[in-house]
Chain A
């Protein structure tokens, strides 16, 4: 597709349930990022993939959160035993480069809004 695609756009779940959020980056972009945006806040970094591997997962809040990118393209963010505090918009972004000499522009998807009841 032309841009970063995220599904579902909206997800309502009950506390304690398992949730998967999917991101399809721009074709050819090797770098993929997940951010979380809580109400009234700016996006917060969660994890960054270069290819198939997680190069930096320092932003994941706890071990209930996990993300994969098995073939270096589509990524899935997985949240176990969801809590009400997990309610937020989860943003995915991709970029061609993360080179220091060529700070890669991040292209963001529209986000997946997660509501935990």
Chain B
């Protein structure tokens, strides 16, 4: 079975500070991993994805994530937070043989202080 754990339901950072959102996964088979973002009153939007190519994945809006198999982690980072980054972020995993079925974490709400 697969699962995703996102540590911290809320993360607060100052504008300009480093953003680090944590995601650990459990999977018995090689996974595909994703980060989705949900802005207020909008649908979920793909930030980035890992599909077994490069372990450091760059996404939209300056976000990136690194797949670390030894740590079963896929943490999301951004060097400098912007007010517009305030949103809810979801980590998700799928199996390579059923890549349509996303298993989501419970989400982390990012607050950016001026």
Residue positions of A touching B, CB distance < 8 A: 3-4, 31, 33, 35, 40-45, 48, 55-56, 59, 91, 93, 95, 98-100, 103-111
Contact = CB atoms under 8 A, between A and B. Distances in A.
A68 B108 CA distance: 33
A31 B99 CA distance: 12
Chain B interface main SS type: strand
B61 interface: no
Interface stretch (B12-20, B69-77, B79-87, B88-96): B88-96
Contacts of A56: 98, 100-101
A110 B43 contact: yes
B100 A44 contact: no
A31 B100 contact: yes
Contacts of A100: 96-97, 99
Contacts, number: 64
Which range contains the number of B residues in contact with the other chain? Answer: 20 to 34
Given A3-B43, A110-B43, A42 B106 contact: yes
Given A41-B106, A43-B104, A48-B100, A103 B94 contact: yes
A100 B32 CA distance: 10
Contacts of A98: 99-100
Contact of A106 (B42, B97, B102): B102
11 contacts: A31-B100, A41-B107, A42-B4, A42-B107, A43-B44, A56-B101, A98-B100, A100-B96, A103-B51, A107-B43, A109-B43
